[in-house]
Amino acid sequence: MNDESDIRFAPVNGISELSNLFSAQKEQQINCYSLNLLLFSVCGVHFGVDAGQVSGIALYDGEQADDLFWFHEELGYGAAAATYISPTVVTIRTGCVSSYRVIIDSMEDIIEFSQNDIRLFPSLLEPFALRKGLWGILPRNEIMVLLVDFQRLLKKRRPGIS
Asked whether residue 51 falls in the same domain as residue 25, the answer is no
CATH number at residue 106: 2.30.30.40
Cβ 101 vs Cβ 65: under 8 Å:
yes
3-state SS assignment for residue 150: helix
Cβ 107 vs Cβ 115: under 8 Å:
no
What does the mean pLDDT of the chain come to?
A: 78
Domain membership of residue 162 (yes or no) is: no
Q: Which of 76, 137, 143 is nearest to 106 (CA)?
A: 143
Asked whether residue 39 falls in the same domain as residue 114, the answer is yes
pLDDT at 99 over 50: yes
- Distance of alpha carbon 8 from alpha carbon 116, whole angstroms: 30
- Expressed as residue numbers, the domain containing 26 is 1-32
Domain membership of residue 21 (yes or no) is: yes
Asked whether residue 49 falls in the same domain as residue 12, the answer is no
Asked whether residue 100 falls in the same domain as residue 119, the answer is yes
- Distance of alpha carbon 100 from alpha carbon 87, whole angstroms: 16
pLDDT, position 1: 46
- Distance of alpha carbon 162 from alpha carbon 151, whole angstroms: 8
- pLDDT, tens digit, for every residue of 3-39? 444 444 444 444 444 444 444 444 444 445 888 999 9
